[in-house]
Amino acid sequence: EIVMTQSPATLSVSPGERATLSCRASQNVSTYLAWYQRKPGQAPRLLIYGASTRATGLPARFSGSGSGTEFTLTISSLQSEDFALYFCQQYNNWWTFGQGTKVE
């Protein structure tokens, strides 16, 4: 099983600041990596797939990068609606998920 590890567990940032979230895979997953956002009481929302492709309608302040085993999600200027839990997921070999980073 491919283990996904996210860091940090919690990220404290202020509105307007840059947020950088990391995700590491225990094996090479190429660019078969997605990022999701989850807010309380809501369904998770796909943000990024293919490591760097934004989902339809996603604001340009969200960007993804990386390949192989190291990946990053960057929110360039945090808005109030961006405070949420973010988790990564590999889909190179079925699906496994990171534990999430809470942006507060």
Partner 1 sequence: QVHLVESGGGLVKPGGSLKLSCAASGFNFIDYYMTWIRQAPGKGLEWVSYITSSGTYTNYADSVKGRFTISRDNAKNALHLHMNSLRAEDTAVYYCVRVTPTPSGSLIDYWGQGTLVTVSS
Task: Please report how close the Cβ of residue 92 comes to partner 1 at its closest, in angstroms.
Answer: 6
Residues lying near partner 1 in the complex (CB under 8 A) = 30-32, 34, 36, 41-46, 49-50, 55, 87, 89, 91-92, 94-100
From the list 30, 26, 65, the residue with the least C-alpha distance to 48 is 65
Q: DSSP string spanning 60-82?
A: TTEEEEEETTEEEEEESS--GGG
Toward partner 1, which CB reaches closer, 63 or 76?
63
Toward partner 1, which CB reaches closer, 67 or 72?
67
